[in-house]
Structure 1
C-alpha cells in the first residue's frame, strides 16, 4: 500500500510539473472505485487551473481554487505521467490531461478514491478524523507520550493507527522501530520519554529518507516520474531470516493485527 512517503513523492511530482497549468480534459473510465466517481466530474474539471497539490495523511488534494479533487491510491494505486496517446489498459481508470502532460491513475484493486469537494476538504469525513502529521513540528516526544499514555496496545499497531498518527504504515513502522531500538511488541503506554525521543527522531528520519529515495517500490507502486528505490535501504522490512545489519542476529517476522512485522530480537527491546 502506498504510505506517506509514496504519496508525498506523488504530490511533489504533480506540484513540480502541473502547478499553475490548465487541465484541458479528464478521461474517466470507471464509474466507481472504492466509492462512486461523482457524475459529471470530467466536465467539472475541464478548463480549471491547478493552484497547488496538497497531502493529508495518505490522501492527495488537488486544489483548483473553487474545488478540490481528493485522490486516494488505495492498496495498489499510482499516479504517473504517460505520453499523449498511450494506450490505456484494464486498470487505468482515469487520465488528467494538462496539454501535452497526461497524468494517469492506475488502480488494479480499485480500493482507491476519486472525489470532488467544494467545501473545506479537511472537514470531509475521510479527513476530519485523521491524526497528527508525523513530519510536522507538533509531532514531538512529549505529544507522543501524552497520546500513548495508558495504552496497552503494542507500539507497532499504535503507530499505524491513522486516528493517532497518519501515514506511517507497515513498512515505515517496522523500519522506525528498528532505528529506535524498540521492540514492536512493547506496550505503547510503557515506553519512557527518553525512548520516545529516539522513536520520534527515527520516524521523521525514516520518512524523510524514503521521500528522498522516491518511496519504496514493492509490487505496484510507481511515482509520477518513475520507480522509487527505498526498498534497497530497508534494514528489517521483508528481511526475515537474514542477519540484522546492526548486530548479526537473525531478523524475525511475526504477525500483528494481520500485518507482517519485522524486527531484530537482540537490538530491539
Structure 2
C-alpha cells in the first residue's frame, strides 16, 4: 500500500501482491472458520460411521474367524463407493458457498470495497472453499482409514491392507492414470460448476445450480439418443470436454466477479 497526500490508501499493484492476498485470505478464514470446523466434524463423523458399519457387518459373517481376502476387497469397495458419494456432497456444498457473503447488497458492497484486487479476492476464495475442503476431506478420510487399519489387527487378518478411496483406483491397474483422469475431470467440472453458480445465482445457488445441471443432463441425454451411442467412439473425449469446461468455469467465475465490481462502481 502507498499513502497519497489525501491519506487514502491506493494499490500500487492492481493484479496481485502476496502480502495483500495473504491478509485477505486470513480475513476470509476468520469469517468462515467455524463453518469449516463444523464441516470437518460432520465429515469425520459420517465417514467414521460408514467405516464402522462396513467393518462390523463384514466381520459379523465370520463368527470370529479371520477375514478372507475377498471380504477385505468387498469392504474396501463399499467404503470407496460411500466415500465418493460423501466427497461429492461435501465439495458441491463447499463450492456453492464460494460467494455466500454476496447474497445481500451490504455483503457485496463490503466485498467490493475491500482493498484487494478482484483476482486476489477470487483466488483467496478458491483456496478456502475448494482447496482447503479438498485437503480437509483427504486428511479426515486417511485418519478414518488408519482407524480401520487398527481395527483390522483385532480380527487377525494377515493379508495386504487394501486402502479405500475415491473411486478405489488401484495403483497396480494398467489403466490407473486414465481412470484417475476420469475422476479428476468429473470432480473438477462438478466443483467449478457450483463455484460459477455461486456467483451467478446469488441466492439459492445450490438449488438453482443443481436444477441447471439436471436440465443440461436431460438435454445431453436427448442429444445422445439422436446421434446414437454407437457414434461416441471414445469416452475419453467426453472427459476431455469436462476438463475444458472446468477451466472455462474457473475463468467465468472470475470474470463474473470482475463484472460485479464494474457494475457496483457505476
Structure holding more strand per residue: 1
TM-score by length of 1: 0.25
TM-score by length of 2: 0.25
Instruction: Look at both structures and tell me which one has the larger radius of gyration over its CA atoms.
Output: 2
Structure holding more helix per residue: 2
